[in-house]
């Protein structure tokens, strides 16, 4: 069967069209694909640049926050180095409600009582003034330091719970001052009264971060300084306060766990030091009870007094050295 001339011409035209279309497609298609690929590459490069810019801004923000934290820590450290605690500050940190004048009067009375007790006990005359001075200056300050450390330890045990109460209050929608009011009413001493001071200070125009800084002065603990830094940075730069306080609470609990671990590890050394330090006194008492005539010259002769004084000095040095060796601070 033969095709007509018209059909042959149409077929020839179609074949020529297909050939020309194929040539055009072969020439134009790589350019089209290349343009699309270039657009896609540009888009990817733009996303990368945006991600780099975003990462750089985030790092800069983190660096700025680190610098602010470091500046706050340096400021607090410089203030702690420059400021020398007065008797009034020590009394406030111990939680006592007496004036410095009353403390000095009690110190003098304690020194007089100590000197009279030494005189009645027939102590050497040269040692009576020394005992009076120790009773007037050493014993009251030691008691004040003991009360201060006990109050700080008690504050530290309840401080993380107080921060958790504040975090829960902020997450439930309460403002910071209302959360602090809950702490001041629910927590016992000394945490509750300290937060009460901060809440009461707001009524006379003291901001929360300034109140926390004053709390850090009354309770000079690193944990309270951490809270002061968090509140100060949040007041300047903003941010999620509940998240920051939650992280602070975790840090406080981790520090508390570490201190308990250190205490448990060093307990054996402390027990050994206590036994070694108390052994001479126990032996002296037992020997005096079993054979008083053997120990009596130590108390009635001048040579015995010198020996007792020298022993007391060397024992004090040994106890201080052992205490320094077994004391760990975080």
**Statement: residue 81 has pLDDT above 80:** no
User: Distance (Å, rounded) from C-alpha 215 to C-alpha 213?
Assistant: 5
| pLDDT higher than threshold 70 for residue 180 | yes
Q: What is the DSSP letter of 138?
A: I
The better pLDDT of the pair 33, 53 is held by: 53
pLDDT digit string, tens, across residues 96-120: 888 889 999 999 999 899 888 888 8
Residues 158 and 32 in one domain: no
Is there a single domain that holds both residue 92 and residue 155?
yes
Is residue 313, in this structure, part of any structural domain at all?
A: yes
- Measured CA to CA, the distance from residue 85 to residue 202 in angstroms comes to 26
CA–CA gap between residue 6 and residue 292 (Å, rounded): 148
- 326 and 213 part of one domain: no
Q: Is the per-residue pLDDT at 91 higher than 60?
A: yes
Q: Are residues 145 and 105 in the same domain?
A: yes
Q: Decide if pLDDT at 6 tops 70.
A: no
Same-domain pairing of 271 and 216: no
Torsion from C-alpha of 252, 196, 79, 75, nearest 10 degrees = 60
161 shares a domain with 306: no
Tens digit of each residue's pLDDT (9 = 90 or more) over 41-64 = 566 666 666 666 666 666 666 566
How far is 126 from 22, CA to CA, in rounded Å?
Answer: 122
pTM: 0.64
Better-predicted residue by pLDDT, 45 or 244: 244
pLDDT for 57: 62
Together in a domain, 184 and 100: yes
Judge whether 3 lies within some domain.
Answer: no
Residue 176 CA to residue 169 CA, distance in Å, equals: 8
Residues 193, 90, single domain; the answer is yes
Q: What backbone phi and psi angles, to 5 degrees, belong to 87?
A: -65, -35
Residue 72 covered by a domain: no
| Listed residues 207, 239, 271: the one ending a domain | 239
Query: What whole-number percentage of the chain has pLDDT above 90?
Result: 4
Are residue 60 and residue 93 in the same domain, yes or no? Answer: no
Q: Which two tokens stand for residue 11?
A: 């077929």
How far from the centroid of its chain's Cα atoms is residue 88's Cα? 24
Of the candidate ranges 139-143, 176-180, 211-215, 264-268, the one whose mean pLDDT is the lowest? 264-268
Span 155-179, average pLDDT: 87
Same domain, yes or no, for 91 and 234? yes
For residue 255, tell me if it sits in a domain.
no
Which pLDDT score, from 0 to 100, does residue 112 have?
92
Q: Which domain holds residue 60?
A: 11-66
Q: Tell me the average pLDDT across 207-214.
A: 84
Q: Do 60 and 88 lie in a common domain? A: no
% of the chain surpassing 70 pLDDT: 74
Residues 183, 304 within the same domain: no
Helix boundaries (H) for the chain: 5-82, 87-94, 100-120, 127-133, 139-171, 176-186, 191-202, 208-218, 222-237, 241-290, 292-295, 297-300, 302-326
Q: What pLDDT digit, counting tens, does each position of 129-161 carry? A: 888 888 888 888 889 989 998 998 889 888 888
Mean pLDDT within 58-78: 58
Number of domains, the chain: 3
């Amino acid at each position: 069967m033969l095709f007509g001339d018209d059909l042959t011409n149409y077929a020839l035209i179609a074949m020529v069209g297909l050939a020309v279309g194929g040539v055009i497609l072969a020439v134009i298609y790589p350019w089209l694909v290349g343009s699309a690929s270039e657009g896609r590459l540009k888009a990817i490069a733009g996303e990368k640049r945006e991600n780099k810019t975003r990462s750089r801004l985030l790092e800069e923000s983190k660096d700025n926050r680190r610098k602010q934290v470091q500046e706050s820590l340096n400021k607090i450290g410089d203030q702690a180095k420059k400021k020398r605690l007065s008797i009034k500050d020590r009394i406030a940190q111990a939680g006592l409600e007496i004036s410095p004048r009353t403390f000095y009067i009690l110190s003098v009375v304690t020194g007089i009582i100590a000197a009279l007790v030494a005189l009645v006990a027939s102590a050497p005359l040269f040692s009576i003034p020394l005992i009076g001075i120790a009773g007037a200056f050493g014993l009251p300050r030691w008691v004040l330091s003991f009360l201060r450390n006990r109050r700080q330890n008690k504050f530290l045990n309840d401080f993380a719970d107080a921060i958790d109460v504040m975090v829960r209050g902020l997450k439930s929608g309460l403002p910071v001052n209302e959360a602090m009011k809950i702490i001041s009413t629910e927590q016992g001493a000394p945490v509750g009264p300290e937060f009460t001071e901060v809440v009461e200070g707001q009524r006379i125009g003291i901001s929360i971060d300034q109140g926390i800084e004053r709390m850090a002065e009354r309770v000079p603990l690193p944990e309270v300084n951490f809270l002061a830094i968090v509140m100060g940075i949040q007041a300047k730069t903003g941010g999620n306060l509940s998240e920051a306080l939650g992280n602070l609470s975790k840090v406080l609990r981790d520090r508390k766990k570490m201190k308990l671990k250190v205490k448990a590890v060093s307990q054996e050394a402390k027990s050994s030091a206590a036994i070694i330090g108390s052994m001479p006194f126990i032996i002296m008492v037992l020997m005096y009870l079993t054979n008083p005539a053997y120990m009596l010259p130590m108390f009635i002769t001048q040579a015995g007094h010198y020996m007792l004084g020298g022993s007391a000095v060397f024992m004090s040095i040994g106890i201080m050295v052992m205490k320094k060796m077994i004391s760990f601070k975080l």
